[in-house]
Structure formats: structure tokens, C-alpha cells
């Protein structure tokens, strides 16, 4: 059970720190309008991800008896994790040269996250299978995973917004880059786990 919490924390950290439209919006709103506006963007995924998570888990539960399909999904999830690791390793920092017209931060954050294909791909190939497997262990297990994931996803974006409001050097400095390197190593380990799980399901 503790492994699921650790998985949620690690994946949440990656989702929070990885470069993407939502993180750029967090930084841009912070630079343009202050820390509080960046904070509003950081909380957007909690709302927009709810329908994505529910639909994904429902779909995976309906095909749970088809182990070969789940096996392929796990292998695709492993490949996606390797891609995430690659993106972590090649990170060189973030640009601070961004422009935003006006606040409306939460609405903008929700729109950006809902239209971003990454959350859909993540929950279909990685998050969804973890929740399905965790639920088979106990009802508490997927809850721990989700708590760890969203606490760190939102928390890391809040931290970036705060750090950016205090010093713009954070988003271009070594601290951010080193965090991404460490996350890349952990993601490779998770990818190997997904490959192993996918092979076992295909051999059933």
C-alpha cells in the first residue's frame, strides 16, 4: 500500500514539474499578476481531471477480463514512462519570457488542462491501470495513490509559483534541472515495472 503512495508522489512530482502548457501558465500568471494568480492555476487539475479519471477507470474496469488488452496497455504505459523519463533528462530549464493578457487564472488553467492531451494519455496508460490494480488490493490503496498524486502535482506547481514570485532564477537554474534528472531515473524504474506487468498479462 505504501508503494502506491510513493508511486502517486513520484508521478505527481513529475506532472507538477514537467514543462508543459499548464506549467507555463502557472509561471506566466505569477510573473504577470503575482503569486495568488499562479496558485489558482495550480489547483485547476483537481477539477478538470475528475471526469477524465472516472471515464478512464470505468473503461478499464469494463475490459478488465481481457488480460491481453490490459497487457498491451501496460506496455504502452511503460513506453510512455520512458518518454517521460527522456523528457526529464533533456530538460534545460524554463523560459520566463511569457505573456498573458489578464488574470482569470483558474478558468484559463482549467481550459488548458482539459484541452491538453497529456492527462488523457497518462490516465489511460498509467494512472488508470494503477488504480484498477490498487482497488483489487483494497479500497484505500487507490485513494492513497490519488492523494499522493494530486498533493504533489498541485503542491509542486504551487512551489514553482512561489519560487518564481521570489526569484525568476529558479525556473532557469540548476535546482529545477536536478529535480527533473532525479525524477527521470525513478520514471525509468516505474517503466520497467509496467513492462514486467504487461508481459505477465500477455502470457496469461
pLDDT tens digits, one per residue of 150-194: 999 999 999 988 888 877 666 666 777 787 788 888 889 888 988
Q: What value does the mean pLDDT take over residues 19-40?
A: 80
Sequence ranges of the domains in the chain:
2-202
Pick the closest to residue 26 from 116, 96, 115, 118 (CA basis).
96
Q: What end-to-end distance do the CA atoms of the chain give, in Å? A: 25
Q: Is the pLDDT of residue 14 over 80?
A: yes
Measure the CA–CA gap between 73 and 58, rounded to whole angstroms. 15
Q: Is the pLDDT of residue 203 over 60?
A: yes
Q: What is the pLDDT of residues 59-109, one digit of tens each?
A: 888 887 788 888 888 898 889 889 888 888 887 765 555 444 455 677 777
| Grid coordinates of 164 | 518564481
Report pTM. Answer: 0.78
- Four-residue CA torsion sign, 122, 127, 129, 132: negative
The pLDDT, as a whole number, for residue 98 is 46
- Four-residue CA torsion sign, 173, 178, 184, 190: negative
Q: What value does the mean pLDDT take over residues 5-30?
A: 84
User: Phi-psi region for residue 34, left (φ > 0), alpha (ψ -120 to 50) or beta?
Assistant: left
| Grid coordinates of 28 | 506566466
- DSSP string spanning 124-189? IIIIHHHHHHHHHH-SHHHHHHHHHHHHHHHHHHHHHHHHHHH-GGGGGSHHHHHHHHHHHHHHHH
The pLDDT, as a whole number, for residue 12 is 92
Measure the CA–CA gap between 26 and 21, rounded to whole angstroms. 9
Q: What is the pLDDT of residues 42-54, one digit of tens each?
A: 888 888 888 889 9
Q: Answer yes or no: are the C-beta atoms of 25 and 100 closer than 8 Å.
A: yes
The pLDDT, as a whole number, for residue 144 is 92
The pLDDT, as a whole number, for residue 34 is 80
Q: Is the pLDDT of residue 149 over 90?
A: yes
Q: HEC states along 42-66? A: HCHHHHHHHHHHHHHHHHHHHCCCC
Amino acid at each position: 500500500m505504501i508503494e502506491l503512495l510513493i508511486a502517486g508522489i513520484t508521478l505527481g512530482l513529475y506532472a507538477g514539474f514537467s514543462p508543459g502548457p499548464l506549467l507555463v501558465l502557472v509561471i506566466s500568471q505569477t510573473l504577470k499578476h503575482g503569486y495568488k494568480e499562479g496558485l489558482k492555476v495550480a489547483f485547476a487539475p483537481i477539477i478538470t481531471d475528475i471526469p477524465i479519471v472516472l471515464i478512464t477507470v470505468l473503461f478499464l474496469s469494463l475490459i478488465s477480463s481481457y488480460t491481453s488488452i490490459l497487457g498491451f496497455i501496460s506496455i504502452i504505459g511503460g513506453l510512455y514512462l520512458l518518454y517521460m523519463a527522456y523528457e526529464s533528462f533533456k530538460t534545460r530549464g524554463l523560459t520566463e519570457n511569457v505573456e498573458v493578457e489578464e488574470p482569470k487564472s483558474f478558468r484559463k488553467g482549467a481550459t488548458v488542462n482539459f484541452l491538453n492531451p497529456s492527462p488523457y494519455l497518462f490516465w489511460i496508460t498509467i494512472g488508470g491501470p494503477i488504480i484498477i490494480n490498487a482497488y483489487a488490493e483494497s479500497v484505500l490503496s487507490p485513494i492513497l495513490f490519488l492523494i499522493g498524486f494530486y498533493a504533489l502535482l498541485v503542491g509542486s506547481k504551487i512551489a514553482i509559483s512561489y519560487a518564481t514570485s521570489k526569484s525568476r532564477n529558479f525556473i532557469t537554474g540548476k535546482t529545477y534541472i536536478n529535480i527533473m534528472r532525479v525524477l527521470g531515473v525513478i520514471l525509468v524504474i516505474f517503466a520497467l515495472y509496467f513492462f514486467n506487468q504487461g508481459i505477465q498479462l500477455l502470457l496469461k
